[in-house]
Structure 1
């Protein structure tokens, strides 16, 4: 399937917001030199307010956050190819070609909607989902293809007695491992996903309730999550 490049409006607006914060900072810094680049908004009287200091302190960090973090997709869009192609055996994004059989780790950065694909040679491709049309279908295609490749190896290792690492979690025949502690399958009451909004970000968590204790795991720190979820559904059909 082919996915066309689309303009990242949200990232673009974040860049504009960051530039506006820098402009405001410069306007306030130039007032003592009697240079007024915002003459009707930034005046000597306003600069004398104590609250102005907080604006100066926050303006540059806010600009860096908006431009370099929230707006990074806009700069990536400028360099991205026109089309991303997903085939039966891999994906191609410009000169970057990744075979699904070579992928050893998949991690979805939910709060940025980036998909990281790490291959056997150690290289990592960052797939910025918001740059492509039909992003949900793109994510599903890649997760299904990579999950199909990795799932058989995971099951083989679990049956042989290994604890398979999934980033923040581990899985073995006895249960899940979180922060070095085993959570037996029989002790798990429920497992669910949960979205938490914090300012401009939405954090996704995997919530595990076992023996009355609730554990929240950041899903952005879970490797190969599609494979993990299939394993959980097989072992905990009622949870």
Structure 2
């Protein structure tokens, strides 16, 4: 049954844009002091400019503004041109006037640190689905991954049975095991596979941790293509312990 998701306002992204604009305003205020133009007269004064800490503020203001506006604030600008509703069915994704059939999707990648889902299609185009712009985003993500995974699974299994190595970005999959950095990790040598979240400031990095022969390998999940298909294949092939 099709499900609908309404567009929501990205408050965090909007506040980041405001913070970036404030940083630019402080930078402009400092640059105008030498010509005796004071747009922040109680904060940015000649005495402040001559303070040893002023040079730090001056050089950090622009990079901070660029980071906040262009990186953290990008969802807000995307929201301005995003349709008000998205419809998800078993076969396709309807976003405004655009219909994306899951049968045409050749690659799916989840940018975990930005909560963006990239869907590449046979015609060479890529749809960036900004999950923070939609209500019930976890359900939307699960629905898209399940639909794409079901569509791709049969082709992946066919290639594996034919003896091919199926690429999943940072990982490869063979009938005998996983391939990471050119090395084969046999199924029988794998102790555990788990996901792990690492927080650093405002960013959260997601990793797939593979433990084989007591040695751990951490793979950035944002660099794994078609992860839902890969995980389904892993669940079928991992030895029971």
Tell me, yes or no, whether TM beats 0.5: yes
Shift of 1:61: 1.0
Native 8 Å contact 2:207 2:219 kept in 1: yes
Q: 1:6 aligns with which of 5, 8, 16?
A: 8
Partners in 2 of 1:232 and 1:175 — Cα distance?
Answer: 9
CA shift digits 1:138-181 (9 cap, x unpaired): 00110000000001111111111011000000000111111111
Which residue does the alignment assign to 1:43?
A: 45
Q: 2:63 aligns with which of 54, 61, 64?
A: 61
Following TM superposition, where does structure 1 have runs of at least 4 consecutive aligned residues deviating by more than 2 angstroms? none
* Unaligned residue ranges in structure 1 (runs of 5+): none
**1:92 aligned counterpart, secondary structure:** strand
1:156-235 matches, within 5 Å, as 156-235=158-237
Task: Tell me the TM-score normalized by structure 2.
Answer: 0.97
Partners in 1 of 2:60 and 2:172 — Cα distance?
Answer: 40
Partners in 2 of 1:45 and 1:182 — Cα distance?
Answer: 64
Task: Tell me the TM-score normalized by structure 1.
Answer: 0.98
1:101-116 matches, within 5 Å, as 101-116=103-118
**1:108 aligned counterpart, secondary structure:** strand
* Unaligned residue ranges in structure 2 (runs of 5+): none
**1:27 aligned counterpart, secondary structure:** helix
Partners in 1 of 2:41 and 2:107 — Cα distance?
Answer: 54
Shift of 1:184: 1.0
Give the aligned CA root-mean-square deviation in angstroms.
1.0
Partners in 2 of 1:195 and 1:122 — Cα distance?
Answer: 31
Which residue does the alignment assign to 1:128?
A: 130
